[in-house]
Structure 1
Amino acid sequence: MSTKAIIVDDHDMLLRGLCLILESVNGGAVEVVATTTDGSRALNLAQEHGADVVVTDAAMPGTDGVGVVKACSPFLPVLVLTTFDDAALVKELIGAGASGYILKDVSPEELTSAIVAVAEGGLILDPRIARHAFSSVPQEGELAVLTRAERGVAELVARGLNNREIAEAQFLAEGTVKNHVSALLRKLQARDRTVLALHLSKVLDL
C-alpha cells in the first residue's frame, strides 16, 4: 500500500516536479494525494484526503513551514524539505514538532524513503541539518538515571525507530515501549520525541 502524502510549497513548478518524481520512484511507494501553495490549507487537505504524512517547504509567504508543522504535527507527521541549512530555523522546526528535516538536493530515492519512514513514525534528519539541532547536549553521565531496559529503548529511539520497531527488536509489548519512552522524556527533560532522539544520538555518538 502506498504512503499518502500532501506536499506544501509556494512554487507550483516544484510541486509538479515532485509529484512526477514520486510517481516514478520505488514503484509508487508514495502517492501524492494533494498539493497546495498555501500552508494554511495543509491540515484540511490532509484530513480530506486521508493523508499519512505532510511534506512542506520551510520558507514560504503567509503560513511558513513552522506554521504548517504546528498545525499538523499533533495529528500527522510532518517532513520538512528545505534548501535552508540554518541553525535558528532548524531549532525552531524541532521545537514545533517536525518529524523529519532533509535538504532538497537529496536523491529521489532518499526523498521517497524519508517520506515513508516519517509516515511510519520514524525520525529522519539530514546530517547536514542535525549538526545544527542543539548547541549543547547532555553528557553520558545523565544516562545513569536510566534503567537497563530504558537504556536499551533509548539507543533505538536515537536510531529513529518507532515504537513498533523497538518492540519487535526488544521483544517487548508496544505499550511497554511507550511507557519507557515516556520515562525517557521525563528523566532527560526532553519536550518531545524528536528532541529526545536528537539528544540521545549525540550523547551516544551514533
Structure 2
Amino acid sequence: MSGIRVLVVDDQELLRRGLRMILQTVGGITVVGEAENGEHALALIPELAPDVVLADARMPVLDGLGLVIRCAAAHPGLPVLVLTTFDDAPLVRELLDAGAGGFLLKDISTESLVDALEQVRAGGLVLDPRVARAALAPAAPPAPRLDLTAGELAVARLVSRGLANAEIAEELHLAYGTVKNTVSAVLRKLGQPDRTALALHLARELD
C-alpha cells in the first residue's frame, strides 16, 4: 500500500506537534498538515488532499462530530478517525452514525494508531475495544430507524432539544437557509404538521 497522507486536527498545539513527531517516525506515513479545529481542517483539505483526517472529538468552533458530518457531505470517501480521551459511549454512537471512520482513545500505542490509519484508509471501521462494548451494547432500546441523512439527523437532534433555526445554524456552523430547508425536509419525511409537533415527535424518538 502506498504512503498515507494524514491531516492532524486538535485544538492543543502540543498534542498536534506530538502526533506529528510520532507519526513521522513511521515509514509510509506523512503528516501533510495540522488544524486547530474542524473548521480549519475543512479549509485545508482541498489544498492538502489527505488520505485520512485524524481529529480530536472535543474542540472549539467545530468539534469532531461536526467535522465528521460536514466532511462526509463535502468530501465523501475521506475517512475521519476520531482520537480522544473521553470514554463516552453516546458520543461514539453519534460519531459512528455520522460516518466516522473510527474512534480511539488517546493512550493508544503508536503501532495500533498506525494500524488504525491503514484500516480506515482502506475503507474499514476501527473502534477501540475498550469503548466498543459500551458503545454497541443494547443497554437501551435501539435508536429508531429514522429515514434521515446524517445532516438531517444532526439538525433533528437540535430541534428535539428546542433550539431555533438560528441557534442550530450557529451550533452546526451552517447557513440559516440551509437549516430552514433541512427542517422543512425533516417535516416532510416524518409527516409532521409543524415544528412543535416535530420537536415532540423527535423528543420521543431520539430519547
On whether the aligned pair clears a TM of 0.5, the verdict is yes
Aligned to 1:19: 20
Q: Within 2, Cα distance between the matches of 1:24 and 1:62?
A: 31
- 1:12-161 mapped onto 2 (5 Å cutoff): 12-25=13-26, 27=27, 29-74=28-73, 75=76, 76-136=78-138
Deviations 1:41-86 (A, max 9, x none): 2223122111111110001112011011111134211100111111
Does the residue aligned with 2:42 lie in a helix, a strand or coil? helix
Q: Name the amino acid aligned to 1:93.
A: L
CA distance in 2, matches of 1:73, 1:124: 17
Which TM-score applies when normalising by structure 1?
Answer: 0.62
Structure 2: 5+ residue stretches without partners: 140-207
The one-character-per-residue Cα deviations of 1:171-197 (angstroms, maximum 9, x if unpaired) are xxxxxxxxxxxxxxxxxxxxxxxxxxx
One-letter identity of the residue aligned with 1:117: Q
Describe the superposition over 1:135-168 as per-residue Cα deviations: whole angstroms up to 9, x where unpaired: 429xxxxxxxxxxxxxxxxxxxxxxxxxxxxxxx
Per-residue CA distance 1:100-157 (angstroms, 9 max, x = gap):
11111111111111112111111111111211223429xxxxxxxxxxxxxxxxxxxx
- In structure 2, do the counterparts of structure 1 residues 73 and 132 end up closer, same or farther at CA, with 3 Å as the change threshold? farther
Moved over 3 A (4+): none
Give the paired residue count.
135
Give the match for residue 7 of structure 2: 6
Tell me, yes or no, if the aligned pair for 1:91 and 1:132 is still in contact at 8 Å.
Answer: no
Secondary structure at 1:105 match in 2: coil
1:25-45 CA distance string (max 9 Å, x none) = 2x2x22110111021122231
Q: Which amino acid aligns with 1:102?
A: L
Equivalent-residue separation in structure 2 for 1:106 and 1:73 (angstroms): 25
**RMSD of equivalent CA atoms:** 1.5
CA distance in 1, matches of 2:36, 2:129: 27
Q: Please state whether the residue corresponding to 2:11 is helix, strand or coil.
A: coil
In structure 2, C-alpha distance between the alignment counterparts of 1:135 and 1:107, rounded to whole Å: 25
CA contact (8 A) 1:15 1:35 kept: yes
**Distance in 2, Cα, partners of 1:13 & 1:83:** 15
The 5 A counterparts of 1:165-184 are: none
Amino acid at match of 2:52: V
- Does the aligned pair in 2 maintain the 1:39–1:63 contact within 8 Å? yes
Larger-Rg structure? 2
Quote the offset at 1:99 in angstroms: 1.1
The sequence identity of aligned pairs, in percent, is: 50
